[in-house]
Structure 1
Amino acid sequence: MAKIIAVTNQKGGVGKTTTCVNLGASLTATKRKVLVIDLDPQGNATMGSGVDKHSLELSVYDLLVGNAHIYDIIQKQTPAGYDLIPANGDLTAAEVELLDSDFKELRLRNTLNDVRELYDYILIDCPPSLNMLTVNALTAASGVVIPMQCEYYALEGLSALMSTIQQISERVNPALKVEGIIRTMFDPRSSLTRDVSEQLNEFFGDKVYTTVIPRNVRLAEAPSHGLPVIMYDRHSKGAKSYLALAGEINRKTKEERDALIPA
């Protein structure tokens, strides 16, 4: 059964979509079956997966408002290698429509029950704000991956996000936990980067991934070609870093599942 991971941070510009797309492609490269869900009306994860958001017949909007079944919306084996539930600007309307709906925070979780057995991982790219779309993602997920830059304001935003995760866990999804924190746009030459990184390790311990994602030109260029960096330049530092992150997540997942098997 798939592990469902929400990739989120309420602060924009931290590499959230970059992480979702490239982690999805890297997990696929390790022979895992992956579904990526674009839950951001900007549709950047859709475009970064090689799918034109402007020509969609069905999108995650139709899934959330009940216009179509999930099987009809999933795009199989995109140019990025994984399956995709795409998004575009229509998704903005879904949030408004959901506000007056019953069980509005459960829409995504309920629909994913039909496909969980088909995948090893389901990754959800969340919008950079706390709204009903993000709440749907956190209600559906069992884990949260938090991309963040090592800067002062990022720490401040992380505190607010941790509070949100705790509230969702207490109210609607007791299985929700922080899967890990991934340091993005990492520059080891910066004293601020090193200081914030030390604080993260001090407060969150093994929740901080060993892998860091460096600032990398090829990683920044890849979305304009509609490709994850592993397909744009497999030998770049960005590609190697996301492959390392995929390996780290696979190991943690295996350890968790092994722990559930009776001795």
Structure 2
Amino acid sequence: MAAKIITVAQQKGGAGKTTLTAHLAVAYTAARKKVAVVDIDPQQSLTMWFRLREERFGDAGAGLLVSQINGWRVRNEVERLAREHEVVLIDSPPHAETEAKIAVRSAGLVVIPVQPSPMDVWATRPTLELASAEETPVLLVLNRVPPRAKLNDEMLAEVKGFGAQIAKAQIGNRVVFASALSEGRAVGEVQPSGKAAKEIAGLAKEILRNV
């Protein structure tokens, strides 16, 4: 089984990297794909979410596996999981550490969430440089987008200046993304017909087309 390996990376903390990874993982399992997530972020937030999910819903995570690991074992773990799953998502640490480089090197695509603010846009450059050094394709995703079109247009122009591909799908700034995770679930499970779920589903499909 040849997996699609996707690393979600952003060297600036607070960009919504782990939140995005969790919702994408559930979206892929809902599409009947066998999914593994490798959590190499020292905060282990994704691992804690998955444990809560298992405790509350038992086999509700069927088709989804979360593996927490770090150090030199990351590459071997990713390769092992890629043989047994259709999609492997890697939640990378927010700094240019050894694990982050391995995560980017192992991926077929690096997804970089970017919040539409000047500080977040400027802080994206090191992640782009890391992906470029490893010759791994990049997809920038505008994340936590507020309903202020002027700000979005300004930031979009700034992001386009990086020369990287930008996802057509954008993720809005919606409370349900965090509230769903606090219950051990994802937006597609708590509000399957809502805008948030549709945004994640659209992004999930777009990502697979680019891996």
TM-score of the superposed pair, with normalisation by structure 2: 0.86
The yes-or-no answer on 1:85 pairing with 2:66 is yes
| Cα distance in 2 for residues equivalent to 1:123 and 1:227 | 17
Match of 1:184 in 2: 143
Query: What are the within-5 Å matches in structure 2 for residues 164-183 of structure 1?
Result: 164-167=130-133, 169=134, 174=135, 176-178=136-138, 180-183=139-142
Which digits, 9 at most, give the CA deviation of each residue in 1:27-60, with x for residues without a partner?
Answer: 22222221111111222112333x149x9xxxxx
| Cα distance in 1 for residues equivalent to 2:81 and 2:168 | 31
Structure 1 pair 203/41, CA: closer, same or farther in 2 (3 Å)?
A: closer
Which runs of no fewer than 5 residues in structure 2 stay unpaired? none
The yes-or-no answer on 1:128 pairing with 2:109 is no
1:244 is aligned, of 196, 202, 211, to 202
The yes-or-no answer on 1:7 pairing with 2:8 is yes
Query: What are the within-5 Å matches in structure 2 for residues 97-108 of structure 1?
Result: 98=71, 104=72, 107-108=73-74
Match of 2:41 in 1: 40
The yes-or-no answer on 1:193 pairing with 2:174 is no
| Cα distance in 2 for residues equivalent to 1:152 and 1:45 | 27
1:133 Cα deviation after fit: 2.1
Structure 1 pair 136/252, CA: closer, same or farther in 2 (3 Å)?
A: closer
Match of 1:259 in 2: none
2:182 is aligned, of 217, 224, 227, to 224
Please tell me the residue identity of whatever aligns with 2:65: L
Please tell me the residue identity of whatever aligns with 1:177: P
1:218 Cα deviation after fit: 1.4
1:203 Cα deviation after fit: 4.1
Secondary structure of residue in 2 paired with 1:79? helix
Check the 8 A contact 1:25/1:82 in 2, yes or no. no
Please tell me the residue identity of whatever aligns with 2:130: T
The yes-or-no answer on 1:155 pairing with 2:121 is yes
Once superposed, which parts of structure 1, at least 4 consecutive aligned residues long, lie more than 4 Å away? Answer: none
Structure 1 pair 111/224, CA: closer, same or farther in 2 (3 Å)?
A: closer
Secondary structure of residue in 2 paired with 1:187? coil
Structure 1 pair 112/189, CA: closer, same or farther in 2 (3 Å)?
A: closer
| Cα distance in 1 for residues equivalent to 2:172 and 2:189 | 18
Could you say what the CA RMSD is over the residues aligned between the two structures, in angstroms? 2.4
Which runs of no fewer than 5 residues in structure 1 stay unpaired? 56-76, 99-103, 254-263
Larger Rg, first or second structure (1 or 2): 1
Structure 1 pair 128/161, CA: closer, same or farther in 2 (3 Å)?
A: same
1:116 Cα deviation after fit: 1.8
Q: How many residues align?
A: 207
| Cα distance in 1 for residues equivalent to 2:80 and 2:38 | 15
Check the 8 A contact 1:25/1:81 in 2, yes or no. no
Structure 1 pair 151/166, CA: closer, same or farther in 2 (3 Å)?
A: same
Structure 1 pair 230/11, CA: closer, same or farther in 2 (3 Å)?
A: same
| Cα distance in 2 for residues equivalent to 1:187 and 1:151 | 10
| Cα distance in 1 for residues equivalent to 2:144 and 2:81 | 34
Match of 2:170 in 1: 212
Which digits, 9 at most, give the CA deviation of each residue in 1:173-197, with x for residues without a partner?
Answer: x5x221x111111124252222111
The yes-or-no answer on 1:26 pairing with 2:7 is no
Check the 8 A contact 2:40/2:91 in 1, yes or no. yes
